[in-house]
């Protein structure tokens, strides 16, 4: 956003200005420097449990010694299936201190989904919450590389035939690593698995410099005096880079919630004194629509910036008027494989809804299906290539063919549709697989969703294709209604007639109590597409509504 400007403290005993020179970096060096400069100052706040920068460094070296005794060394993978807590971060930094690769997994995984990722990562050691250990034991016979399961808290679980079960507390009693191994910025820091919506999930190989570059660029846009609060899961790049590492760069306090809770949001903002929040998806809408609370009123004007997406003009206005938020949203475009592809230059006012401009890290083009660049204003696939070494992923783990397929003509193909305007601003249009074609016209599900979110009765919405025998696609709107604002499917469709081109008016509308989502709040549209027309789906062709060309 235009008001999200860089604010820096003057040089003092806290300052660590080496990272502002854009030099290649490693995760361990970022933590080492923070510990050396501000070791006694508070860094992490987990529900009131405070950890200093120095204590995190000490704990990481201690756990690294324990992991080393389990046989972990340079290049090995350490799977981490932990909730948002201090142990998740200590395990991350401990693995990296040994030159190992941290592999955080979605804590909702089970059965084949879990087996695939642990097996694919070839992990010999898995660190997990005690509640999740049973899931791992259920599939242990299909994990030949697995040697040790380390549970976070003690329990009665017995070992299986080829894998021992140990306690994390015991692991931390094996002394301390004298010094982390020497690392290069190109070395792998982590594997972040894709959601696997179009096939088996793939591990994105994230180098130290890539995750540090994302964090460093994020840190520059923030006031270093502001506490950040987030409930986003640590098993995704977003929280790891833009929350944890960015705050390490800025020597900023970070409050991390175990998970998102609507009723706890304002009490946590008040308790932590956070001036900045990092949230995503439905969280933004739910907070905007919640009833007034005493904590909300006392915190009016406290939050200076609310990050995340998607932000509509209506949501931004609500957050500003109800909560006194100064700015909301982020004018950037990125994905796990590459971030930030575009960003907002300091001092420029980004148009609302845009995704920033080209920056020094990436060359960005918009192309047609044959990879020919299209003119400004015309939508096409966003393709990229790095201008600097190790500022995007290194490919998919153990999947050279899939990696090469996305590098067609030596450009990484994002699978996203976008367009540049004549002033150089990027506008996201849709995911390519979610882009609809109907009656010879292209339709953006993203733009349709933004339209329907403008209706006061719609709390959440997903637009997706339904196969048609007569045309390329039929359009279906699956919506969750807000309480206290009655509307029928036909009334909602009638409302949309004056707001949509005739070819984009949905044929189908269905109301549900919730949309299927993954752990980060992303709607799982492939499930909705697979379900198609259900017995509770309204069909415009069974109504009296008439859609005319105009």
Domain boundary, last residue among 407, 432, 457: 432
Could you tell me if 75 and 193 lie in one domain? yes
175 within a domain of the structure (yes/no):
yes
Domain boundary, last residue among 208, 226, 259: 208
Could you tell me if 178 and 62 lie in one domain? yes
The structure tokens listed for 298 are 């006392």
Q: Within 10 Å of residue 368's Cβ, how many Cβ atoms?
A: 12
DSSP class of residue 277 equals: E
Q: Name the region of 324 (left: φ>0; alpha: ψ -120 to 50; beta: rest).
A: left
Could you tell me if 502 and 470 lie in one domain? yes
Q: Specify the CATH number for the domain of residue 459.
A: 3.30.300.30
Could you tell me if 393 and 456 lie in one domain? no
Helix axes 86-97, 27-38, angle to 10 degrees: 110
Per-residue pLDDT in tens (0 to 9) along the chain, 550 residues: 233 322 333 334 345 655 556 789 999 999 999 999 999 999 999 999 999 999 999 999 999 999 999 999 999 999 999 999 999 999 999 999 999 999 999 898 888 888 999 999 999 999 999 999 999 999 999 999 999 999 998 876 666 677 899 999 999 999 999 999 999 999 999 999 987 555 678 999 999 999 999 999 999 999 999 999 999 999 999 999 999 999 999 999 999 999 999 999 999 999 999 999 999 888 998 999 999 999 999 999 999 999 998 888 889 999 999 999 999 988 999 999 999 999 998 878 889 889 999 999 999 999 999 999 999 999 999 999 999 999 999 999 999 999 998 899 999 999 999 999 999 999 998 888 887 777 667 788 888 898 899 899 999 999 998 877 665 678 999 999 998 889 999 999 999 998 888 888 999 999 999 999 876 677 888 889 889 999 999 999 999 898 876 5
| Secondary structure (3-state) at 309 | coil
Are 239 and 232 within 8 A, CB to CB? yes
Q: Specify the CATH number for the domain of residue 346.
A: 2.30.38.10
Could you tell me if 470 and 427 lie in one domain? no
392 DSSP β-pair partners: 338
Alpha-carbon span 240 to 97, nearest angstrom? 16
Could you tell me if 418 and 351 lie in one domain? yes
316 within a domain of the structure (yes/no):
no
| Secondary structure (3-state) at 202 | coil
550 within a domain of the structure (yes/no):
no
262 within a domain of the structure (yes/no):
no
Cα torsion 369, 372, 378, 379: sign:
positive
Could you tell me if 199 and 98 lie in one domain? yes
Closest residue by Cα to residue 513 from 312, 282, 319: 282
184 within a domain of the structure (yes/no):
yes
The structure tokens listed for 188 are 């792998």
Which residues of 85-202 form beta strands (DSSP E)?
101-104, 125-128, 148-151, 164-167, 188-193
The structure tokens listed for 247 are 């705050």
**pLDDT value for 485:** 84
Alpha-carbon span 413 to 433, nearest angstrom? 13
Q: Who's near 477: CB < 8 A, 6+ residues apart?
A: 448, 452, 461, 462, 463, 492, 506, 508, 509, 510
Give the structural domain span for 183: 48-208
Could you tell me if 100 and 194 lie in one domain? yes
Which residue, chain included where needed, has tokens 């899931």?
135
307 DSSP β-pair partners: 278
Alpha-carbon dihedral angle through residues 530, 285, 450, 418, given to the nearest 10 degrees: -80
474 within a domain of the structure (yes/no):
yes
Q: Specify the CATH number for the domain of residue 66.
A: 3.40.50.980
Alpha-carbon span 111 to 109, nearest angstrom? 7
Q: Within 10 Å of residue 472's Cβ, how many Cβ atoms?
A: 15
| Secondary structure (3-state) at 219 | helix
Domain boundary, last residue among 414, 432, 450: 432
Alpha-carbon span 503 to 147, nearest angstrom? 57
Could you tell me if 427 and 439 lie in one domain? no
What total number of domains does the chain contain? 3
Could you tell me if 443 and 394 lie in one domain? no
Alpha-carbon span 95 to 353, nearest angstrom? 39
DSSP class of residue 502 equals: G
Q: Name the region of 83 (left: φ>0; alpha: ψ -120 to 50; beta: rest).
A: beta
13 within a domain of the structure (yes/no):
no
Could you tell me if 427 and 443 lie in one domain? no
| Secondary structure (3-state) at 393 | coil
Angle at CA of residue 97, ends 94 and 101, nearest 5°? 80
Could you tell me if 66 and 94 lie in one domain? yes
88 within a domain of the structure (yes/no):
yes
The reported pTM is: 0.84
Which residue, chain included where needed, has tokens 């791992």?
136
């Amino acid at each position: 956003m235009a008001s999200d400007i860089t604010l820096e403290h003057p040089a003092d005993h806290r300052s660590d200005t080496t990272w502002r020179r854009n030099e290649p970096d490693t995760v361990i060096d970022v933590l080492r420097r923070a510990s050396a400069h501000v070791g006694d100052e508070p860094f992490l706040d987990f529900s009131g449990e405070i950890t200093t920068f120095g204590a995190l460094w000490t704990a990481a070296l201690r756990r690294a010694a324990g992991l080393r005794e389990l046989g972990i060394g340079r290049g090995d993978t350490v799977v981490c299936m932990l909730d948002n807590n201090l142990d998740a971060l200590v395990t991350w930094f401990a693995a990296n201190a040994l030159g190992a690769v941290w592999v955080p997994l979605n804590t909702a995984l089970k059965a084949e989904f879990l087996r695939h990722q642990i097996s694919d990562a070839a992990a010999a050691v898995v660190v997990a919450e005690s509640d999740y250990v049973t899931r791992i034991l259920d599939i242990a016979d299909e994990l030949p590389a697995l040697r040790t399961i380390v549970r976070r808290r003690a329990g009665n679980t017995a070992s299986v035939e080829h894998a021992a079960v140990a306690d994390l507390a015991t692991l931390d009693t094996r002394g301390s690593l004298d010094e982390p191994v020497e690392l290069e910025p190109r070395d792998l820091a982590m594997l972040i698995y894709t959601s696997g919506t179009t096939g088996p999930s793939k591990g994105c190989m994230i180098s130290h410099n890539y995750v540090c570059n994302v964090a460093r660029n994020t840190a520059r846009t923030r006031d270093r005096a502001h506490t950040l609060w987030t409930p986003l899961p640590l098993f995704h790049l977003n929280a790891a880079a833009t929350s944890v590492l960015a705050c390490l760069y800025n020597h900023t306090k970070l409050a991390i919630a175990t998970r998102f809770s609507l009723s706890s949001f304002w009490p946590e903002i008040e308790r932590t004194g956070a001036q900045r929040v990092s949230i995503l998806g439905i969280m933004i809408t739910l907070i905007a629509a919640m009833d007034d609370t005493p904590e909300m009123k006392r915190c009016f004007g406290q939050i200076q910036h609310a990050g995340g997406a998607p932000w509509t003009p209506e949501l931004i206005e609500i957050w500003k008027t109800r909560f006194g938020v100064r700015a909301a949203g982020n004018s950037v475009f990125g994905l796990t494989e590459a971030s930030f592809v575009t960003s907002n230059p300091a001092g420029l006012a980004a148009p609302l809804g845009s995704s920033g401009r080209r920056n020094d890290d990436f060359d960005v083009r918009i192309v047609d299906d044959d990879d020919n660049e299209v003119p400004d204003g015309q939508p096409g696939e966003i393709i990229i290539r790095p201008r600097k070494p190790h500022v995007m992923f290194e490919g998919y783990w153990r999947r050279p063919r899939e990696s090469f397929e996305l590098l067609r003509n030596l450009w990484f193909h994002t699978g996203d549709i976008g367009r540049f305007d004549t002033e150089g601003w990027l506008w996201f249009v849709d995911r390519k697989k979610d882009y609809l074609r109907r009656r010879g016209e292209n339709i953006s599900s993203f733009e349709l969703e933004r339209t329907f979110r403008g209706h006061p009765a719609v709390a959440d919405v997903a637009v997706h294709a339904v196969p048609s025998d007569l045309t390329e696609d039929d359009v279906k709107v699956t919506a969750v209604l807000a309480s206290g604002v009655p509307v029928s499917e036909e009334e909602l469709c009638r409302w949309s007639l004056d707001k949509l081109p005739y070819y984009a008016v949905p044929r189908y509308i269905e109301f549900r109590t919730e949309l299927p989502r993954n752990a980060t709040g992303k709607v799982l549209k492939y499930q909705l597409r697979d379900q198609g027309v259900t017995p509770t789906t309204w069909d415009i062709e069974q109504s009296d509504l008439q859609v005319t060309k105009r």
